[in-house]
Amino acid sequence: MISQWLSQIGLVIRLEMRKTFFSRRGLWVYLLALAPVLIFLGHSLSEISNRKERQAMNAAHPVSTETLRSIQRGATLEEVVEKVGQPFAKMEFHRPRASFDIYQYTDGESVYVFGFQNDRLENIDRRDRDTIPKDSLIFASVFQFFYLRLAIFFGCVGVFTNLFRGEMLDKSLHFYLLTPIRREILTVGKFLAGLIATVTIFCTSTFLQLAALSLHFTGSEISEYLAGPGWGHVASYLGVTAAACLGYGSIFLAAGLLFKNPIIPAATVLVWEGMNMFLPAALKKVSVIFYLQSLSPVVAPPDATLPAFQRLLLTSAEPVSGAWAVLGLITLTVVVLAVAARKARKLEINYSTD
């Protein structure tokens, strides 16, 4: 009996797969998933070109890091030029009572901006190129704010609500219901098909995002990072991506069975998940985002370099431990799937009125 169910689940997955993976209607899911890859790719490419530019400037106006660092406030313009030579860029403003000069130097890595007032150095601004810790915070906020809450969320709305609803609109659901398969098995099969599709799409995207973001770091920077927390972070991000598909997938599979219009449950869940941080502890646990945040590897930024709202997002959950988060998410999924299977058992074919 069990083996028959398993083989039926496998067959449903195969049948569904072509519909979920290769449908033109599902194209936007890919676009949604790939959007952050493009963002990070753009970021890396601009970092790379900035760096090339700095190195070219440094070649034209050679100066060492130590020399640049040795410059102190209060030095005169002449002293500075004597020490580090001519800048690669210079701006002058002259007023009746004061003159301002801005000199830019680079050691090929960072850009140093020296601000002079009346030929005296008043201000030193160093612009370092992005470091891995900084970029991993950028990644963490894009991941939590855009990727989990919007991209995966709406991707799952699209894929999972359509598992049943799409076939009702096509008027082809009855073909399943007229085969010797339990409705519960059908529900599980469809869910797994959606899960395989979304996990493949979104985990691939997560991986590509990390790869795109790491493009502008040097090989040694990357291997140092990977030897440290790196692989752990990669694995966690992939795990959280899959967990998000699991949690949101089950919810939207059920929503597709319970509601005629998926917009309404999607909006409700979006609001509920959005206000999760303001909910009391007991209610927090009835959400997907709570567990996902508990599982996310990069949490609150150490200092105030990020805007306040981002910090709020990154620190919103008092995280539970990883094992509890996984357990909580799986419990949530199983409960929601049980509701969906119950609804599937009672499902009637009424295409005309749906």
Partner 1 sequence: MSNGQVSDRIVLDNVSRFYGEVLGVNRVTLSVPPGITSLVGPNGSGKTTLMNLITGLVRPTRGSIQVLGISPSDPEKLFRVCAYATQFDSFPRGMTGFQFIYSYLRLSGMSHDDCQRTTAFAIGRVNLGDAAHRKIAGYSKGMRQRIKLAQAIAHDPRVLVLDEPLNGLDPLVRAETIALFREFAAEGRHVIVSSHILHEVDTISDQVILLSNGYVVAEGQIRGVREEMSEHPMQVIIRCTRASVLASRVFEQDHVVEVRLHADGGGLLVKTRDADRFYRALNHLALDGVGIESVAPADDNVNSLYEYLIGGEESTR
Binding site for ligand ATP (CB under 6 A): 350, 352-353
Nearer to partner 1 by Cβ, of 9 and 243: the residue is 9
163 is an interface residue for partner 1 by CB under 8 A? no
215 is an interface residue for partner 1 by CB under 8 A? no
Nearer to ligand ATP by Cβ, of 220 and 352: the residue is 352
346 is an interface residue for partner 1 by CB under 8 A? yes
Report CA 295 to chain centroid distance, whole Å. 14
CA dihedral 230→233→234→238, nearest 10 degrees, is 170
Nearer to partner 1 by Cβ, of 18 and 127: the residue is 18
- One character per residue 220-259, x = contact with partner 1 (rule: CB under 8 A): ----------------------------------------
11 is an interface residue for partner 1 by CB under 8 A? yes
353 is an interface residue for partner 1 by CB under 8 A? yes
Nearer to ligand ATP by Cβ, of 16 and 167: the residue is 167
Interface segment toward partner 1; rule CB under 8 A; list 5-13, 35-43, 142-150, 199-207: 5-13
- Both tokens of 124, joined, read 């030193």
Exposed e or buried b per residue across 312-347, where buried means at least 16 C-beta atoms within 10 angstroms of its C-beta:
ebbebbebbeeeebbebbeebbeebbebbbebbeeb
Contacted by 28, from partner 1, ligand ATP, none: CB < 5 to 8 Å by type: none
Instruction: Dump the DSSP string for 195-257.
Output: HHHHHHHHHHHHHHHHHHHHTTS-HHHHHHHIIIIIHHHHHHHHHHHHHHHHHHHHHHHHHHH
Nearest of 196, 188, 199 to residue 334 by alpha carbon:
188
Contacted by 64, from ligand ATP, partner 1, none: CB < 5 to 8 Å by type: none
In whole angstroms, the minimum distance from the beta carbon of 350 to ligand ATP comes to 4
CA separation for the pair 236, 180 (Å, rounded): 40
- Both tokens of 29, joined, read 């899911």
Among 60, 267, 327, 349, binds partner 1 (CB under 8 A): 349
| Count of residues in the chain | 354
| DSSP E strand boundaries for the chain | 89-94, 99-106, 111-117, 120-127
Which residues face 100 on adjacent strands?
Answer: 93, 117
In whole angstroms, the minimum distance from the beta carbon of 12 to ligand ATP comes to 26
Nearer to partner 1 by Cβ, of 189 and 256: the residue is 189
Interface segment toward partner 1; rule CB under 8 A; list 8-16, 52-60, 98-106, 111-119: 8-16
- Both tokens of 167, joined, read 């076939």
| Residues in CB range of 231: below 8 A, 6 or more apart | none
In whole angstroms, the minimum distance from the beta carbon of 155 to partner 1 comes to 20
Nearest of 65, 105, 76, 63 to residue 88 by alpha carbon:
105
Instruction: Dump the DSSP string for 124-162.
Output: EEEEPPPPHHHHHHHHHHIIIIIIIIIIIHHHHHHHHHH
Q: Please state at what angle helix 183-214 crosses helix 153-170, rounded to 10 degrees.
A: 140
Among 178, 227, 304, 323, binds partner 1 (CB under 8 A): 178
Among 39, 41, 138, 181, binds partner 1 (CB under 8 A): 181
Contacted by 223, from partner 1, ligand ATP, none: CB < 5 to 8 Å by type: none
- One character per residue 326-345, x = contact with partner 1 (rule: CB under 8 A): -------------------x
Nearer to partner 1 by Cβ, of 7 and 86: the residue is 7
Tokens 């890919």 map to which residue? 30
Binding site for partner 1 (CB under 8 A): 4, 7-8, 11-12, 15, 18-19, 23, 167, 170-172, 174-183, 345-346, 348-351, 353
